[in-house]
A and B are shown apart, each in its own frame.
Chain A
Amino acid sequence: MPVMKIDGYPVEFTDEPNILSVIRKAGINLPTLCYHSELSIYGACRLCTVEDDKGRMFASCSERPRDGLSIKTSTPRLVRYRRMLIELMLASHHRDCTTCVKSGDCELQNLAHRLGVSEVRWGYKQRTHKRDFSSPSIVRDPDKCILCGDCVRVCEGIQGINAIDFAMRGTDAMVIPAFNKEIAKTDCVNCGQCRVVCPTGAISINTNIRPVWEALADPDVKVFAQVAPAVRVAAGQAFGGAKGENVMGKIVAALHKLGFDEVYDTTFGADMTILEESKEFLELFKKGGPFPLFTSCCPAWVSFCEKRWPEFVPHISTSYSPIQMLGSIAREYYADPKNNEGKKILSVGIMPCTAKKAEILREDLKRDGKQNIDYVLTTEEMITMIKRAGIQFDKLEGEAADMPFGMGSGGGVIFGNSGGVMEAALRTLCEGPDRPAIEELRQSGVRGPSPLREFTFNYKGNEIKAAVVSGLAEADALLRRIKNGESFYHFVEVMACRRGCIMGGGQPAHAGIRTKEARKHGLYESDVNTQIKKSNENPTALAIYDTLIKGREHELLHSHR
């Protein structure tokens, strides 16, 4: 096995793509601002620069490891060099750190502390650009941009959108939409992946905390929340909990403490989605097409399809996404004076997703001109509220979600993982004894690390060809193959964010590979610990059909795109 010397110690390496990975494997956390293992290598921030035994300095992200190479990672010269780089970035960065939304969670700020930058010799950069509030999902603040290009590469490379890019050059260079237009007027699908990778406050979540908080304080308003599956495996870490731990109980308790009258579980909505979507699929399957049927849960995917592949829009399931299912049914429930107690109702979704903020505004999802959900708060915003209120999350005792929409199946809870919607839908088609059938499906290829997974499922002797894809660039390529007749599927699940909602645009950022894996396992484990595995066996969901929505399934549970 080839060996490198890092700071005098031998380190073996195998297929690491660059020296930086070998250094990190050796337990040294070199600082970086522009390096993300899933994005293309850009080499812009230069913070990972190292020195070889000849005194040559180079960026370790952009060089391959070589046998016998000897490098040093923090000589006095490198330390000076890195400090200077951060100082230069700070000089061209609008430093309103104390009041910045990103303060405390900012990679630039953290590195400035870590590397000991104690002064900036080149003055203070005033605000020179307007902030862009046009999107319901994200806010752009170009004065805080350090031109690392992370957002550009995730938007173009992973999502295939390219809503923003570098423009101009030199000191005028900026990351902006074409012609500096508002982000809402671009092909942006609100996935929020740009804000997940942004190391500073240049792209942040467009927050709805204030109106929700005001409603919580209003005695004439009954506020209820629903919590999406992916939220429960991402929030705990912010309060010192373990990576990927399911903290749904504490979330429910914290939201109750914040003043939410009822806290429901979007897993219930997910079960409703599966009930409707699998019905839709079976009808289509019996009819013999046209295939494929695409899932409808992911609003960024729906928006992408509308903008780039309008011809495939009729193939998207009309079933509401889980948040809309619960929102729509709860609206019926609260229309009854017995349940609304004569109060105004405010419906809040706690989501891992920035695109849901845009989804709730869609015309085709309104009924009688009114939205099914009033506000969406992301996981990040929920964490902010809990912290702001001073609630000691880690000391809370868990509580169960409220009825009648507090119960969900294992199939519903895995919705947050890429492949989860497909797996939940196919579970309802499993025949024979549950345990082996569910296990067989689990091993069919629906789960796995690849962003595109193709597999077949046997249904009453017929083969269902299915695909699961996450990341819109990957989805774009898949659609092209379907269009050209190179690929054929009956059923396709698309999620805009790689790995699914657990890595959504509203989730806590800075998730490394271990956190990503932990969130995924957290959801799969929640499924294992749920008594009811199949959405079509959730008794509360089934009961709805005979009561609240009787005879109105089409009106209350389907989009009229």
Chain B
Amino acid sequence: MLAPSFYTKTDEILSHYPAQERSLIPIIHEVQETYNYVPVELLPYIAKHIGITETKAYSVASFYERFSFEPKGKFIIRVCDGTACHVRHSLPVLERLRSELGLSDKKHTTDDMLFTVETVSCLGACSLAPALMVNEHVHPAMTPEKATELIKELREEAKNA
């Protein structure tokens, strides 16, 4: 059961969109932006408001890789594994990040909720390959060494924040 504040906040988000089926994806996007993830408990609430079944809302929300039902870390690192990045060795970068943080293809988020490491199929930054994003910032021409350095910087940033 979520705290009442989640529902007040969601009401506010819902007020930004017409109460129609087509608003589902924009609403889920905004919920995810707000909380870093999509609390599943909110889906029936959203579905009811826009007049669809909770089954449909779950079907859509679970389809997209972008939406997560698990809380994510403060820094969401999205390593591009599109064709261009892949051929320019994005996988060693991904492996380094995972080994630095003790993560794997099953475990995406560190226990201290600081880092989440995921792959994406293309960031649209192919000329900068191999690229990754930390939250909204693109980091170009990555190497495993630069990845280690990046983690160190982000840890510092978190400490000073």
* Chain A residues in the interface with B (C-beta under 8 A): 161-169, 177-179, 186-187
Cβ–Cβ contact B55 & A178, under 8 A: yes
**Smallest distance from the beta carbon of A114 to chain B beta carbons, Å?**
32
Cβ–Cβ contact A163 & B63, under 8 A: no
Cβ–Cβ contact A162 & B56, under 8 A: yes
**Smallest distance from the beta carbon of B57 to chain A beta carbons, Å?**
7
Cβ–Cβ contact A169 & B63, under 8 A: yes
Residue from A169, A178, A187 whose CB has the most chain B CB atoms within 10 Å? A178
**In B24-60, which residues have CB < 8 Å from any A CB?**
40, 43-44, 53-59
Per the bound structure, the CA–CA distance linking A257 and B26 in Å amounts to 63
Q: Which residue of A lies closest to B54 (CB)?
A: A178
Tell whether B135 is near chain A: CB-to-CB under 8 Å.
no
Which residues of chain B are within 8 angstroms of A163 by Cβ–Cβ distance?
55
Cβ–Cβ contact A179 & B40, under 8 A: yes
- Add 14 more A-B contacts to A165-B56, A166-B59, A178-B54 (CB < 8 A): A161-B53, A162-B55, A167-B58, A167-B59, A168-B63, A169-B62, A169-B64, A177-B55, A178-B43, A178-B44, A178-B55, A178-B59, A179-B43, A179-B54
Residue from B40, B56, B58, B64 whose CB has the most chain A CB atoms within 10 Å? B58
Cβ–Cβ contact A178 & B57, under 8 A: yes
Please name the 9 residue pairs, one residue from A and one from B, whose CB atoms are nearest each other, closest first.
Answer: A178-B58, A165-B59, A162-B53, A178-B55, A167-B62, A178-B54, A165-B55, A162-B55, A169-B63
**Smallest distance from the beta carbon of B92 to chain A beta carbons, Å?**
25
- Contact for A164 among B40, B55, B63, B64, CB less than 8 A: B55
Per the bound structure, the CA–CA distance linking A163 and B59 in Å amounts to 11
Cβ–Cβ contact A179 & B56, under 8 A: no
Residue from A164, A179, A187 whose CB has the most chain B CB atoms within 10 Å? A179
Q: Which residue of A lies closest to B63 (CB)?
A: A169
Which residues of chain B are within 8 angstroms of A165 by Cβ–Cβ distance?
53, 55-56, 58-59
Per the bound structure, the CA–CA distance linking A166 and B43 in Å amounts to 16
Cβ–Cβ contact B62 & A186, under 8 A: no
**Smallest distance from the beta carbon of A333 to chain B beta carbons, Å?**
44
Cβ–Cβ contact B63 & A166, under 8 A: yes
* Chain B residues in the interface with A (C-beta under 8 A): 40, 43-44, 53-59, 62-65
Per the bound structure, the CA–CA distance linking A347 and B4 in Å amounts to 50
Per the bound structure, the CA–CA distance linking A179 and B44 in Å amounts to 10
Q: Which residue of A lies closest to B64 (CB)?
A: A169
User: Between A and B, how many residue pairs show CB distances below 8 Å?
Assistant: 38
- Contact for A168 among B53, B56, B62, CB less than 8 A: B62
Per the bound structure, the CA–CA distance linking A186 and B56 in Å amounts to 13
Q: Is the interface of A mostly helix, strand, loop or mixed?
A: loop
**Smallest distance from the beta carbon of B13 to chain A beta carbons, Å?**
20
Residue from B54, B55, B56, B64 whose CB has the most chain A CB atoms within 10 Å? B55
Q: Which residue of A lies closest to B57 (CB)?
A: A178
**Smallest distance from the beta carbon of A179 to chain B beta carbons, Å?**
6
Cβ–Cβ contact B63 & A186, under 8 A: no
Q: Which residue of B lies closest to A161 (CB)?
A: B53
6 contacts between A and B (CB under 8 A): A165-B53, A167-B58, A167-B59, A169-B63, A179-B40, A186-B55
Which residues of chain B are within 8 angstroms of A164 by Cβ–Cβ distance?
55
Per the bound structure, the CA–CA distance linking A167 and B64 in Å amounts to 10
Per the bound structure, the CA–CA distance linking A162 and B47 in Å amounts to 13
Which residues of chain A are within 8 angstroms of B40 by Cβ–Cβ distance?
179
Per the bound structure, the CA–CA distance linking A165 and B44 in Å amounts to 15
Q: Which residue of B lies closest to A180 (CB)?
A: B58
**Smallest distance from the beta carbon of B28 to chain A beta carbons, Å?**
14
**Smallest distance from the beta carbon of A4 to chain B beta carbons, Å?**
37
Per the bound structure, the CA–CA distance linking A166 and B64 in Å amounts to 12
**Smallest distance from the beta carbon of A108 to chain B beta carbons, Å?**
24
Q: Which residue of A lies closest to B53 (CB)?
A: A162
Cβ–Cβ contact B53 & A179, under 8 A: no
Which residues of chain B are within 8 angstroms of A187 by Cβ–Cβ distance?
53
Which residues of chain A are within 8 angstroms of B55 by Cβ–Cβ distance?
162-165, 177-178, 186
Which residues of chain A are within 8 angstroms of B44 by Cβ–Cβ distance?
178
Per the bound structure, the CA–CA distance linking A187 and B53 in Å amounts to 10
Residue from B40, B44, B54 whose CB has the most chain A CB atoms within 10 Å? B54
**Smallest distance from the beta carbon of A535 to chain B beta carbons, Å?**
39
Which residues of chain A are within 8 angstroms of B58 by Cβ–Cβ distance?
165, 167, 178-179
Per the bound structure, the CA–CA distance linking A232 and B133 in Å amounts to 66
Q: Which residue of A lies closest to B41 (CB)?
A: A179
**Smallest distance from the beta carbon of A464 to chain B beta carbons, Å?**
34
Q: Which residue of A lies closest to B69 (CB)?
A: A179
Which residues of chain B are within 8 angstroms of A179 by Cβ–Cβ distance?
40, 43, 54, 58
Which residues of chain B are within 8 angstroms of A168 by Cβ–Cβ distance?
62-63
Per the bound structure, the CA–CA distance linking A162 and B58 in Å amounts to 11
Q: Which residue of A lies closest to B44 (CB)?
A: A178
Which residues of chain B are within 8 angstroms of A186 by Cβ–Cβ distance?
55
**Smallest distance from the beta carbon of A219 to chain B beta carbons, Å?**
48
Per the bound structure, the CA–CA distance linking A166 and B59 in Å amounts to 6
Which residues of chain A are within 8 angstroms of B63 by Cβ–Cβ distance?
166-169
Q: Which residue of B lies closest to A174 (CB)?
A: B62
Per the bound structure, the CA–CA distance linking A162 and B57 in Å amounts to 11
**Smallest distance from the beta carbon of B56 to chain A beta carbons, Å?**
6
Q: Which residue of B lies closest to A177 (CB)?
A: B55
Per the bound structure, the CA–CA distance linking A177 and B53 in Å amounts to 11
